[in-house]
Amino acid sequence: MAISGRVSELMMQASWIRRMFEEGLRLKAKHGADNVFDFSLGNPIAEPPREFNEALVRLVTHPTPGMHRYMPNAGIPETRDRVSAMLSKHTGLTFGRDQIVMTCGAGGGLNVVLKTLLDAGDRVLIFSPYFVEYIFYVDTHGGVPVKVATTPTFDIDLDAFEKALNSWVKVVLINSPNNPTGVVYPEATLKKMGEIIQRKEKEFDKEIYLVSDEPYRRLVYDGVTVPWIFHAHPNSIVVTSFSKDLGLGGERIGFVAIGPDADPREKLFQGFTFANRVLGFINAPALMQHAIGECLESSVDMGEYRRKRELLCNPLREMGYEFAMPQGAFYLFPKSLVDDDVLFIRHLQQENILAVPGTGFGTPGYFRLSFSVEDRVIEHSIPHFQKVMKALRK
Ligand X SMILES: Cc1ncc(COP(=O)(O)O)c(C=O)c1O
Binding residues (CB under 6 A) for ligand X: these are 42, 105-107, 131, 175, 179, 213, 215, 241, 243, 249, 254
Measure the CA angle with vertex 253, ends 109 and 121; round to 5°.
10
Q: Say if residue 214 is exposed, middle or buried (CB neighbours under 10 Å; 0-12, 13-18, 19+).
A: buried
Cα–Cα distance between 96 and 259 in angstroms, integer? 10
> Any idea how long the chain is?
394
Dihedral pair phi/psi, residue 146, rounded to 5°: -120, 120
If the CB atoms of residues 228 and 281 are measured against ligand X, the closer one turns out to be 281
- Give min distance, CB of 38 to ligand X, in A: 16
- Give min distance, CB of 250 to ligand X, in A: 9
- Give min distance, CB of 349 to ligand X, in A: 22
Q: What sign has the CA pseudo-torsion 106, 107, 110, 111?
A: negative
Q: What sign has the CA pseudo-torsion 207, 190, 309, 381?
A: positive
- Give min distance, CB of 389 to ligand X, in A: 28
- Give min distance, CB of 42 to ligand X, in A: 5
Name the residue among 42, 131, 31 with its Cα closest to residue 381: 31
If the CB atoms of residues 73 and 212 are measured against ligand X, the closer one turns out to be 212
If the CB atoms of residues 281 and 321 are measured against ligand X, the closer one turns out to be 281
* Cβ atoms 109, 211 nearer than 8 A: no
The residue whose Cβ lies closest to ligand X is 105
- Give min distance, CB of 294 to ligand X, in A: 19
- Give min distance, CB of 175 to ligand X, in A: 5
Element spanning 168, H or E: none
Summarize the chain as % helix, strand, coil (round to 5): 45, 15, 40
If the CB atoms of residues 84 and 179 are measured against ligand X, the closer one turns out to be 179
Query: HSE (CB half, 13 Å, CA atoms) of 124?
Result: 27
If the CB atoms of residues 104 and 337 are measured against ligand X, the closer one turns out to be 104
If the CB atoms of residues 352 and 372 are measured against ligand X, the closer one turns out to be 372
- Give min distance, CB of 214 to ligand X, in A: 8
Cα–Cα distance between 286 and 74 in angstroms, integer? 11
Cis peptide before 264 (omega within 30 of 0): yes
If the CB atoms of residues 332 and 337 are measured against ligand X, the closer one turns out to be 332
Cα–Cα distance between 273 and 267 in angstroms, integer? 10
If the CB atoms of residues 48 and 105 are measured against ligand X, the closer one turns out to be 105
Dihedral pair phi/psi, residue 120, rounded to 5°: -55, 130
If the CB atoms of residues 254 and 285 are measured against ligand X, the closer one turns out to be 254
- Give min distance, CB of 253 to ligand X, in A: 8
Per DSSP, the three-state class of 160 is helix
